[in-house]
Amino acid sequence: MALQLPPLALYIHIPWCIQKCPYCDFNSHAVKQGIPEQEYIAHLLADLAQDAPLVTGRTVSSIFIGGGTPSVFSAAGIGQILTGVKQQLTCAADMEVTMEANPGTVEAERFAGYVGAGVTRFSIGVQSFQTAQLKALGRIHDANEAIRAAELAQALPLQSFNLDLMHGLPEQNVSGALADLQQAIDLAPPHLSWYQLTIEPNTAFASRPPLLPPDDTLWDIQQQGLDLLQQHGYQQYEISAYAKTGQQCRHNLNYWRYGDYLGIGCGAHGKITLPSRNAILRTVKIKHPKGYMDISRGYMDSREQVAAEDRAFEFFMNRFRLLEPCPIAEFTAYTGLALSSIGTAINTAEQKGLLTVTPTHWQITANGARYLNDLLELFI
């Protein structure tokens, strides 16, 4: 079956941060001798110029500037990047432009400056409002700075903003986790990312693991926290994302709906559909800033096509992170596969109570979300 083009987004990676957090496995590098802002911006736009022919004639619906800590860049620098993007790509008039920011790197005039540069949505990395927890997590801000950053975002002419909050922190109890969540809710963000701390390989926490709460406590935090969020009008739409009505992150929705995205910057990943070649392309850029900015090497680390036999698993691995119904038609449109190729897996998932099936949609059940790995294994 012929592939159809899904919506298109752009991810931009800025790899520097003031200090590397012990739980972080993202491609980020602590600032040691200043940030080569202008040099890196030039490379970002050259990187984009190399990828732009892959999406000729298509419109970008959202941009996400992640890191690292993008707010270590000046407002003028962010403006240069966005201006350069708009010169090379067609951008939707109502495009969502999200930028990650840490409270410890934000001041009032900088926040306003980013909005002036074209940012329409902030994702603020709060993680906790408790001083001891922030210290344990290696964060450079305090609770007052986190509250101030949220209040600044609230006062600016933004489309939306998100607060990033963790639970299951070292030695955290249920009341401590719920107090953090209530504090976040009191700041009235339109969107909340609320997720459990996990120990990832190749992090400082992996080599020196902190004492995390027992499973029973983690379960109680999750259930009571979900109740609290629902009481305040936040609806869970993805595994760790909660939003007021109409305030879901459009960029993240595009990822989970198996949309396309260009990825520029150190270690950035991309996914591009090429109907003329019946191909879905995965790209990864060079990870380390020094290698990325070595102009003799180019920016691409790897570029490969998704094998036809892997497309169903890829599609559902993304789609079933969302709790919304999945239109059956999108499977054939975005993978190019016949429904008959997954008929047995869908029937098994329905029999096990992991999915409900209508003539037009698949809907993941509560058990499907809880036993997501079991559901996805059916499509391998």
Q: How many CA atoms lie within 13 A of 120 on its CB side?
A: 16
Phi, psi of 36 (to 5 degrees): -80, 65
**Which strand (E) or helix (H) includes residue 147?**
helix 143-155
The C-alpha atoms of residue 19 and residue 36 are separated, in whole angstroms, by 17
CATH topology of domain 309-380: Arc Repressor Mutant, subunit A (1.10.10)
| pLDDT, one tens digit for every residue, the chain (380 residues) | 889 999 999 999 999 987 777 777 677 877 878 899 999 999 999 999 999 999 999 999 999 999 989 999 999 999 999 999 999 999 999 999 999 998 876 666 789 999 999 999 999 999 999 988 988 888 888 889 989 989 999 999 999 999 999 999 999 999 999 999 999 999 999 999 999 998 888 877 877 888 889 999 999 999 999 999 999 999 999 999 999 999 999 999 999 999 999 999 999 999 999 999 999 999 999 999 999 998 777 899 999 999 999 999 999 999 999 999 999 999 999 999 999 999 999 999 999 999 999 999 999 999 999 999 999 999 99
In the chain, what is the straight-line distance between the N-terminal and C-terminal CA atoms, in Å? 20
Give burial (CB, 10 Å; 0-12/13-18/19+) of 359: exposed
Sketch the domain layout of the chain as residue ranges.
8-253, 309-380
Please determine, looking at this structure, whether the domain spanning 8-253 carries the CATH number 3.80.30.20: yes
The structure tokens listed for 149 are 């950053």
Among residues 68, 64, 80, the alpha carbon closest in space to that of 113 is found at: 80
CA 337 to chain centre: 27
